[in-house]
Chain A
């Protein structure tokens, strides 16, 4: 992984099918269709090789983007939990009240 740190290998990788892949793959496909439209070619039937290549490039980039996104969120969670663990005085346990103790008596006005 070039741009993703080594730490990211410890978390499970995203599936081949993931949201970013679908989005960027669709964007690549639409780019190919847009190019067809600009050049007055039938949008779906022309340049299938171009559609396939651009969709593939989008899917590939989406996979790595999802991997990086998962790493960022995992790092954030790890840092947050570590901070909570090291500063317990800032996170006191709140005493839990039941609803019966909070709720005021009900005096209907009809």
Chain B
């Protein structure tokens, strides 16, 4: 009894056992979510900037430590 009860109670709480894929509106491909697009491009640009900054800092630090600058 307890095992059955536990299993059936779990189904009410767990979100993995069954999925409901009915959303109220279809994904609208004609009107992009410009905020999300902007944030995505912005974070990509930020990562590139971070990469170039880190690289130039590494080059400078390595030159300093090896007595070339």
Q: Which A positions have Cβ atoms within 8 angstroms of B?
A: 9-13, 16, 39, 41, 46, 49-50, 52-53, 56-57, 59-60, 63, 67
Contact = CB atoms under 8 A, between A and B. Distances in A.
Contacts of B47: 56-57, 60
Given A10-B66, A56-B44, A56-B48, A63 B37 contact: no
Contacts of B29: 41, 46
B62 A10 contact: yes
Interface residues of B, number: 21
Grouping DSSP codes into helix (H, G, I), strand (E, B) and loop, the A interface class, with mixed when no group exceeds half, is helix
Pick the most buried of A11, A49, A50: most chain B CB atoms within 10 A of its CB: A49
Contacts of B41: 49, 52-53
B46 to A, nearest CB: 9
B52 interface: yes
Interface string B31-43: 0000011001101
B51 A50 contact: no
Contact of B55 (A13, A49, A56, A57): A13
A50 B40 contact: yes
B65 interface: yes
B40 A49 contact: yes
Nearest to B46: A56
A17 B43 CA distance: 20
A16 B49 CA distance: 12
A59 B47 CA distance: 9
A50 B55 CA distance: 24
Contacts of A13: 55, 58-59, 62
A22 to B, nearest CB: 14
